[in-house]
């Protein structure tokens, strides 16, 4: 168990001689605290798996240092790092029983039989694998196999961190939820550092205490699920987190207001006008924007989407389109005119994709 520190870690694959290297992972500084659960979230190819492999030792970063507590492990081999990793596809030893699978890492480290048996029993109880211990591992379902992969990591008591690389990819949707809550329960029971790579925001937000959102090899924001939702630091975070994503409207700032075409949003705070040539956008979440028959800013209803639990209205606002929530008691049809209401605390200003704070007036 340890804190894992990334000290200016970056990874680049050598490009053509003379050309600038292409970064799979841009420099990042971060400390992963022991006992917490983190999710690395981002679209495919964003560098999240590279980052995970750097921590596990499968990839040696081209720059920076990796520390487990105070120990520099940057060049240490995987087996010496004491990490556990669960892969996208279940990795089990076909010819062994479940118990032998769980005992394998301990046997390789020369632990005595009695201790192995005790430890395997503990982990089997934790993961509900006790009833299948004597079964051959290859005959089990994918979710049981993933639990075995996890168990093989957890049997070692000195594990510094448990890493998950999209572990639910091949699991039945019905069992995903169950396995995810199992992971969460294991995390609470063992108080270990866990890092979970996924491109599914629901998995990330439900599993993690803190989510790291990545794109194009760059960390855009590290924050709690609420942070990412309420105060996205980057327009990509606003768009990627939440369903549907945040509305973005090109705007210009004038005093305490953001002007979008004909309409003006009252921001309730003062913003300095950004330098010329910078792109200014106003962002707000469909979850906090409501469509009412009157008042607010004038919009036309283009389409109503009934999602069962709630209704979303796609609205025309001048030349732009926005999505807002349609309250249950409001009855509007496509073609109708209405008013858009967004509380000022849910309006965000992004300059060149980065969120800026205003000064309270």
Partner 1 sequence: MMDKPWSNRAWFFVIPVLVVVLFSSLLPMMTVVNYSVQDTMGQNHFFWNGAAWFQNLLDPTTDIGGRFASALVRNLIFSFVVLMIELPLGIAVAICIPRHGWKVGATLVLIALPLLIPWTVVGTIWEIFARQDIGLLGAALNGIGVHYNDTQDPTSAWATIVMMDVWHWTGMIALLSYAGLKAIPDAFYQAARIDGASRWSVFRNIELPKLQKVLVIAVLLRFMESFMIYTEPSVVTGGGPGEATSFLSLDLVKIALGQVDLGNAAAMSIVYYLITLTICWIFFTIMTQLDQRKGA
Residues at the contact surface with partner 1, assessed by CB under 8 A: 56, 58, 77-79, 83-85, 87-89, 91, 93-96, 104-105, 108-109, 136, 138-139, 149, 152-153
Residue partners of 342: CB distance under 8 A and separation at least 6: 265, 284, 288, 289, 290, 296
- 98 or 251: whose CB is closer to partner 1? 98
64 burial class (0-12, 13-18, 19+ CB within 10 angstroms)? middle
User: Measured from the CB of residue 23, what is the shortest distance to partner 1 in angstroms?
Assistant: 22
User: Measured from the CB of residue 46, what is the shortest distance to partner 1 in angstroms?
Assistant: 20
- 164 or 240: whose CB is closer to partner 1? 164
- 88 or 206: whose CB is closer to partner 1? 88
Q: Helix 173-190 vs helix 113-126: angle between axes, to the nearest 10 degrees?
A: 120
Phi and psi, residue 320, nearest 5°? -105, 160
- 62 or 97: whose CB is closer to partner 1? 97
Q: How far apart are CA 330 and CA 246, in angstroms?
A: 22
- 139 or 293: whose CB is closer to partner 1? 139
1 burial class (0-12, 13-18, 19+ CB within 10 angstroms)? middle
User: Measured from the CB of residue 190, what is the shortest distance to partner 1 in angstroms?
Assistant: 17
- 133 or 264: whose CB is closer to partner 1? 133
User: Measured from the CB of residue 45, what is the shortest distance to partner 1 in angstroms?
Assistant: 17
DSSP 7-45: EEEEEEE--STTSPPEEEEEEEEEEEPTT-EEEEE-STT
User: Measured from the CB of residue 162, what is the shortest distance to partner 1 in angstroms?
Assistant: 11
SS3 188: helix
- 108 or 360: whose CB is closer to partner 1? 108
Q: How far apart are CA 241 and CA 74, in angstroms?
A: 32
User: Measured from the CB of residue 87, what is the shortest distance to partner 1 in angstroms?
Assistant: 4
- 55 or 219: whose CB is closer to partner 1? 55
Yes or no: say if 48 and 41 are a contact pair by the CB < 8 Å rule: yes
DSSP 196-253: EEES-HHHHHHH-SEEEEEETTEEEEEE-HHHHHHS-SBHHHHHHSSSS--EEEE-EE
Residue partners of 58: CB distance under 8 A and separation at least 6: 78
User: Measured from the CB of residue 24, what is the shortest distance to partner 1 in angstroms?
Assistant: 16
User: Measured from the CB of residue 333, what is the shortest distance to partner 1 in angstroms?
Assistant: 46
User: Measured from the CB of residue 56, what is the shortest distance to partner 1 in angstroms?
Assistant: 7
**262 prior amide bond cis, ω within 30:** no
SS3 343: coil
User: Measured from the CB of residue 4, what is the shortest distance to partner 1 in angstroms?
Assistant: 16
Q: How far apart are CA 242 and CA 34, in angstroms?
A: 28
- 96 or 264: whose CB is closer to partner 1? 96
Q: How many CB atoms lie within 10 A of CB 313?
A: 26
- 47 or 338: whose CB is closer to partner 1? 47
Q: How far apart are CA 62 and CA 26, in angstroms?
A: 10
Q: How many CB atoms lie within 10 A of CB 139?
A: 11
């Amino acid at each position: 168990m340890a804190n894992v520190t990334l000290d200016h870690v970056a990874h680049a694959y050598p490009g053509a001689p003379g050309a600038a290297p292409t970064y799979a992972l841009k420099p990042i500084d971060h400390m992963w605290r022991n006992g917490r659960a983190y999710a690395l979230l981002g679209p495919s190819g964003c560098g999240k798996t590279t980052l995970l492999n750097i921590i596990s030792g499968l990839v040696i970063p081209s720059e920076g240092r990796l520390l487990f507590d105070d120990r520099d492990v940057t060049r240490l081999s995987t087996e010496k790092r004491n990490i556990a990793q669960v892969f996208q596809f279940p990795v089990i030893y076909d010819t062994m029983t479940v118990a032998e699978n769980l005992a394998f890492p301990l046997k390789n480290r020369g632990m005595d039989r009695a201790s192995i048996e005790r430890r395997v029993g503990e982990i089997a109880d934790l993961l509900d694998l006790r009833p299948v211990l004597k079964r051959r591992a290859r005959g089990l379902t994918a979710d049981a196999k993933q639990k075995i992969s996890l168990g093989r990591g957890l049997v070692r008591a000195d594990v510094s961190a448990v890493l998950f690389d999209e572990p639910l990819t091949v699991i039945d949707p019905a069992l995903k939820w169950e396995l995810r809550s199992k992971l969460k329960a294991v995390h609470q029971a063992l108080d270990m550092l866990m890092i979970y790579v996924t491109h599914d925001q629901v998995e990330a937000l439900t599993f993690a205490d803190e989510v790291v959102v990545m794109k194009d090899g760059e960390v855009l924001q590290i924050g709690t699920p609420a942070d990412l939702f309420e105060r996205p630091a980057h327009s990509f975070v606003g768009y990627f987190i939440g369903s549907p994503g945040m509305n973005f409207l090109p705007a210009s700032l004038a005093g305490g207001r953001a002007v979008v075409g004909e309409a003006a949003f009252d921001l309730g705070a003062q913003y300095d006008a950004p330098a010329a040539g910078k792109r200014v956008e106003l962002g707000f979440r469909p979850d906090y924007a409501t469509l009412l028959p009157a008042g607010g800013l004038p919009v036309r209803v283009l389409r109503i989407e009934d999602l069962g639990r709630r209704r979303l209205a796609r609205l025309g606002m001048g030349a732009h389109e926005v999505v807002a929530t349609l309250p249950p008691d409001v009855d509007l049809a496509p073609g109708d005119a209405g008013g858009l209401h967004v509380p000022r605390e849910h309006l965000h200003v992004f300059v060149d994709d980065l969120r800026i704070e205003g000064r309270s007036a």
